[in-house]
Amino acid sequence: MSESSSRAIILDTSGRELDTIRQKLEEREYTEILALAWPEATKVLHNGGSGLAVVPIDVGDDTGIGRIEEMKRMRPEIPIIATGPAPIPDLILRAIRAGAIEFLVRPVQPTELAQALERIRFKTGLDRSYGKCIAVYTAKGGMGGTTLAVNTAFALARSEAERRVALVDLVVMGGDVRIFLDMKPERTIKDLAEEIDSLSRHELVRYLHPLEEGVYVCADPNLPDEGELLTGRRIVSVLRRLTQEFAYTVVDCEHTLNERTLAVLDFADEIVLITHLTLPAVRGLQRTLDVFARLNYPPEKVSIVVNRHGSKGDLTLSDLEKVLERPVTATIPNDYKATIDAAARGLPIYQSAPKSKIASALDRLAANLKPSSDGGKAANGDHGSHGKGSGLFRRKTEA
């Protein structure tokens, strides 16, 4: 948030209500919170920007509505939260027409205020997503999805000045990320998804498992049936928040195109689609690409990666490229010892086998997933693209 957008004005509010609002705003990193009466508020508004205003309104008294209108005239960019005595449709309508962006019933409840502040962040783009979401998907299990998701996340973190990468294990029937990294998470994606709408930045990180390399793991649920709570919508909320906070969000997906997977694939900026050079794997790959075409995913959204390259296969790389009529983005060499050893030690491959060819190949894959310096490949800044575009899940949920 910019300096002026971290200032909030609370109009004509006192006592416990003021304390509640002030506390929530502080949690949301509003650093200058001013409780003011009307004449002082106008002076502050004249003097410069402000990030937010909270204005009480009432039935049968137009003072509050008039103040919202006046504030909007003075500083149209400021989001205004109106508070009223009850959820009266006519009052809400008038507040919105006057220029309020949210309406809350007094006494203001902390959770409701937190949710309103979260919605305002999205609506106003104050905290626009800036990171890139990368989904790692394989149509069949056992092809290296988790290996590539985990190691790509570490490679991206190493290449980032800020070293902030989220790694999400969305395999709800027993994900392997926690095993590959030998960790015991305190909280899982189930906990995060439940609370996502009301978490401050600070609180969000507490739902992740931080590793010193700059990778923050969002673990799979502890119990398989907890996955039922993870609807596509919840997952999109989680990913949207993570892409606000992290330069990269890498997701290890399940191997079926269920609602959860489709939500991730729709949302992702880029899909790493893994295959082997075997006939069953390539058949699975072709079927997946057919589905992606029906979902109108642009070809450049999908990076095809051949894993275990060099192991005995049914096709060559050029056979595959001819069949698909498109190039393969990267190949990862076959190195069973390095992958098994890393997983057994709970380490990324670049640490357990730093000089191996597979470690270099994983670095190259990550470099390929980064936005190019001319801004060509990825969403390096404006993530207006998230949640737009095409996709089965989107069509289903918007219907």
Ligand X SMILES: Nc1ncnc2c1ncn2[C@@H]1O[C@H](COP(=O)(O)OP(=O)(O)OP(=O)(O)O)[C@@H](O)[C@H]1O
Q: 6, 138, 146, 303: which one contacts Mg ion (CB under 5 A)?
A: 146
175: left (phi over 0), alpha (psi -120 to 50) or beta: beta
Q: Which residue has tokens 């095409």?
A: 390
Q: Report, in Å, the least distance between residue 343 CB and ligand X.
A: 6
Give CA–CA dist 172/230, Å, rounded.
Answer: 9
Q: Pick from 127, 270, 335, 363: which binds ligand X (CB under 6 A)?
A: 335
Residue 336 contact partner, candidates ligand X, Mg ion, none, CB within 5 to 8 A by sort of partner:
ligand X
**Residue 147 found at the interface with ligand X (CB under 6 A):** yes
Footprint of ligand X on 41-80 (CB under 6 A): none
Question: Which residues, in sequence order, are bridge partners of residue 209?
Answer: 217
User: Of 58 and 176, which has the nearer Cβ to Mg ion?
Assistant: 176
The region of 57-65, 169-177, 308-316, 323-331 touching Mg ion under the rule CB under 5 A is: 169-177
As measured in angstroms, the least distance from the Cβ of 356 to ligand X is 10
For position 356 contacting ligand X by CB under 6 A, the verdict is no
- Give the C-alpha separation, 102 to 113, whole Å: 9
Strand pairing partners for 8?
A: 33, 52
Q: Which tokens in the block code for residue 283?
A: 């058949």
Q: Which of 13, 146, 151, 152 binds ligand X (CB under 6 A)?
A: 146
Give yes or no for residue 138 binding ligand X (CB under 6 A): yes
Residue 149's identity, in one-letter code, is: A
Contact flag: residue 308 with ligand X (CB under 6 A): yes
Size of the site for ligand X (CB under 6 A): 20
Q: Does 310 bind ligand X (CB under 6 A)?
A: no
152 binds ligand X (CB under 6 A): no
358 binds ligand X (CB under 6 A): yes
Member of 82, 143, 238, 305 binding ligand X (CB under 6 A): 143
Residue 188 contacts Mg ion per CB under 5 A: no
| Distance from chain centroid for Cα 177 | 18
The answer to whether the CB of 233 falls within 8 A of the CB of 263 is: yes
Say if residue 39 is preceded by a cis peptide, omega within 30 of 0: no
> C-alpha 4: how far from its chain's center?
26
Q: Is 30 helix (H, G, I), strand (E, B) or coil?
A: coil
Helix (H, G, I), strand (E, B) or coil at 83: strand
Binding residues for ligand X, rule: CB under 6 A, are 138, 141-147, 176, 255, 307-308, 332, 334-336, 339-340, 343, 358
